[in-house]
Homo-oligomer: A and B are copies of this chain.
Amino acid sequence: MYSYSNLLALINTQLSQTQYGNNPVELYDPITYMMSLGGKRLRPVLVLMACNLYKEEVTDALPAAIAIEVFHNFTLVHDDIMDNAPLRRGKETVYKKWSMPIAILSGDMMLIKAIDILAQTENTDFKKLLTVFNKAAAEVCEGQQIDMNFEAQASVSHAQYIEMITLKTAVLLGASLQLGALIGGASNADAEHIYEFGKNIGIAFQIQDDILDSFGETAQVGKMIGGDIAANKKTLLLIELLASAHKDDQIALNQYLQMEVNEKIAGILRLYSKYKIKEFAEAQKEQYLTKAFNHLKALSVETSKTEVLANMAKDLMERMS
């Protein structure tokens, strides 16, 4: 079986050989730029890893892997416009570097190219792959809309939050694995189990991300501790605190939310500690991890093979870069 770094090398070679088009340059340069900004390439590696569970050779899964990465980057190009984000991976975002119309249009083109690339998959029922891909694509859009709705919403429930992160980020991890498994020749049952593994791992990742924002080391998170608190972001932690704080702490909490940033962070962290919010979030995370690993165990492949996936998930959980 291939290791993570072997698979990453395959992806990077394939990405460097992928041509998106040339003319007009105003449309294609932003695509090449965006695809060269790097990133963990987690999703395409998952495609190959899942294929590798069922087949020694993963070449057949390369188009699907690239398609997923191009799709993911398309969502980033459009999200950066919607979020007014100036930077992406330390470089200017497409709409900042070029313009909003160019970012809209080159994003559209990336979505079209992603499907073109997926269609290059050989030896697999393409309609089956497209169904998985398009379902996830539609859900990612739904998740982004629900996330935008949260900003204007007075209160967000625990269930709404889990739905949002599931759609916005977790389903694409599930779909990546499912595509790879199908290309590898997995049964429909296995393809479902591996999808559920990826989806639940994705939810756990997101909860971990929320936890680290308040309780991580700056070096580990790579950004300011309390960034979510400072931005009044409706994370799982804040949602749970709002739901469980007693009356006078509710009043205190509302006061903290209006305060200057250092006082706000200190105040809310104090309440997180009082109401054991970190412990709550850790328990939630564990629950999704358990679900994920149960689906992994249900696969009809030898445990020695699924260990690569299990280890990768645990590794990522610890590093969370």
On A, residues with C-beta under 8 Å from B are 21, 23-24, 26-27, 78, 81-82, 100-102, 104-105, 107-109, 111-113, 115-116, 119, 126-127, 130-131, 134, 137-138, 141-142, 144-146, 148-149
Query: 4 new A-B pairs (CB below 8 Å) besides A115-B134, A126-B126?
Result: A21-B142, A23-B142, A24-B149, A82-B101
Residue from B21, B78, B115 within 8 A of A130 (CB atoms): B115
Residue from B100, B105, B111, B148 within 8 A of A145 (CB atoms): B105
Chain B residues, Cβ within 8 Å of A116 = 134, 138
Residue from B105, B134, B142 within 8 A of A82 (CB atoms): B105
Chain B residues, Cβ within 8 Å of A108 = 78, 107-108, 111, 141
Evaluate whether A27 and B145 lie within 8 angstroms (CB atoms) in the complex, with A111-B111, A112-B138 already known: yes
Quick one: closest B residue to A126, CB to CB? B127
Interface of A is mostly: helix
Quick one: closest B residue to A24, CB to CB? B145
Residue from B23, B113, B119 within 8 A of A127 (CB atoms): B119
Q: Which of A111, A112, A113, A134 has the most CB of B within 10 A?
A: A112
Residue from B23, B27, B119 within 8 A of A131 (CB atoms): B119
How far is it, in angstroms, between the C-alpha of A116 and the C-alpha of B132 when the chains are bound? 11
Tell me the minimal C-beta distance from A98 to chain B in angstroms: 11
Residue from B24, B27, B127, B144 within 8 A of A105 (CB atoms): B144
In the complex, the answer to whether A101 meets B113 with C-beta atoms within 8 Å is no
How far is it, in angstroms, between the C-alpha of A18 and the C-alpha of B144 when the chains are bound? 23
In the complex, the answer to whether B27 meets A142 with C-beta atoms within 8 Å is yes
In the complex, the answer to whether B112 meets A134 with C-beta atoms within 8 Å is yes
How far is it, in angstroms, between the C-alpha of A102 and the C-alpha of B146 when the chains are bound? 11
